[in-house]
Homo-oligomer: A and B are copies of this chain.
Amino acid sequence: MTETTTLTVEALAERVAAIFRRTGLNDVQAGALARVIVAGERDACKSHGVYRIEGALRTVKAGKVKPDAIPELSADDGSAIVKVDARGGFANPAFELGVPALAERARRLGLAALVINDCTHFSALWPEVEALTEQGLAALVMCPSYATVAPTGGNKPLLGTNPFAFGWPRKGTSPYVFDFATSVAARGEIELHRRAGKKLPEGWAIDADGNPTTDPEAALAGAMLPFGGHKGSAIGTMIELLAGIMIGDLTSPEVLDYLGTTTLAPFHGELILAFSPEAFAKGRPGDPFARAETLFQTIVGQGARLPSQRRFAARAKSEREGIVLTATETEQLDRLLEKGLDAVS
């Protein structure tokens, strides 16, 4: 019988924050990181849960992120762009700082953007999307990553796995949220196939010569492929342009040059668009929130699923019954708290 530990969301957040403070993160960095990591664990989204702590600490240890950065919000210039300079820290506290200004600007102007510059990003985008749907706003979020994906027709890593996330607020229930990589698969899935000695499905990757491969080793030496062929490749390129180049931050190949590895969290920027459905729908017939529910019911009514439902079910269970950690996970947390940066290579 495996021993497990059950913790409340709050207790786990405090435990994770303590690890980050222990390793030199200031309160704003430690708190924001703990919140997104615990959100991942709470939602049974293990790849963004406590598993991520080590990667964040490796990035601190490598000197590629400033653990004591205080993000800075630019003065309101009356435009639709809210800018937060993460000042070399993690993206999460910069995002939290920017949200109230972004929400206010989106309500005032109907549409606004939050630009985060000079940040290290390692979390999923859905916590950010949900922070905006909680405010009754629709949100579109994107950022580059590091060059691991070949553009369609190409043969070398250039694009990142460039996540693309969207949310629509729903009253009295969890929002409509999707958050996906613009590659066919995440890099971690290829690594999992390698460790398990399994072949990859067709269409995931190419080898170093640009030929299709199902061998995970060859894929890791080659490049991943974009989802949906040339269409996904185009969306990945759009994300490099809007959320890298346009906001004056690094593109995926520049991130890889800067870090020299894909084992550290990427340093770049992020683009968040917020829409006020009330402002857009003003003067038009129908309530946009009620109409969206009709659309969702029709989707579910024909047996299709709304995205993120597995996550929301796990969340409800965690909030009701607590978050269950395995003995190994508890030991890892104890070890990280005891040894700090010495616990990571």
Interface residue ranges, A against B (CB under 8 Å) = 78-81, 108-113, 115, 117, 138, 140, 150-156, 158, 166, 168, 176, 178, 180, 182, 210, 227-234, 237-238, 240-242, 245-249, 251, 253, 273, 275, 277, 279-281, 283-286, 288, 291-292, 295, 298-299, 302-305, 307
Contacts and interface: CB of A to CB of B under 8 A. Distances in A.
A152 B304 contact: yes
Interface of A is mostly: mixed
B304 A168 contact: no
Tallying the copies of this chain within the complex gives 2
Contact of A241 (B158, B284, B295): B295
Given A242-B275, A304-B150, A248 B112 contact: no
Contacts of A151: 299, 302, 304
Contacts of A240: 295
A78 to B, nearest CB: 8
A241 B292 contact: yes
Given A81-B111, A246-B277, A246-B281, 18 more contacts: A79-B109, A80-B80, A81-B279, A138-B242, A153-B304, A153-B305, A166-B234, A178-B238, A182-B231, A227-B228, A227-B229, A228-B229, A228-B231, A233-B304, A246-B275, A246-B288, A248-B284, A251-B295
A14 to B, nearest CB: 35
B288 A245 contact: yes
A237 B295 contact: yes
Contacts of A150: 302, 304
A138 B285 CA distance: 30
A153 to B, nearest CB: 4
Contacts of A286: 245, 248
Given A156-B302, A302-B156, A307-B230, A247 B80 contact: no
Contacts of A305: 153
A242 to B, nearest CB: 7
Contacts of A288: 245-246, 248
A283 B253 CA distance: 22
A295 to B, nearest CB: 6
Given A111-B111, A231-B180, A248 B281 contact: yes
Considering residues A155, A285, A303, which has the most beta carbons from chain B within 10 angstroms of its beta carbon? A303
A80 B80 CA distance: 7
Contacts of A275: 242, 246
A111 B280 contact: no
A229 B178 CA distance: 13
Nearest to A158: B298
Contacts of A112: 80, 111
Contacts of A158: 298-299, 302
A157 B141 CA distance: 28
Given A245-B291, A302-B158, A166 B238 contact: yes
Contacts of A111: 79-81, 111-113, 273
Nearest to A81: B110
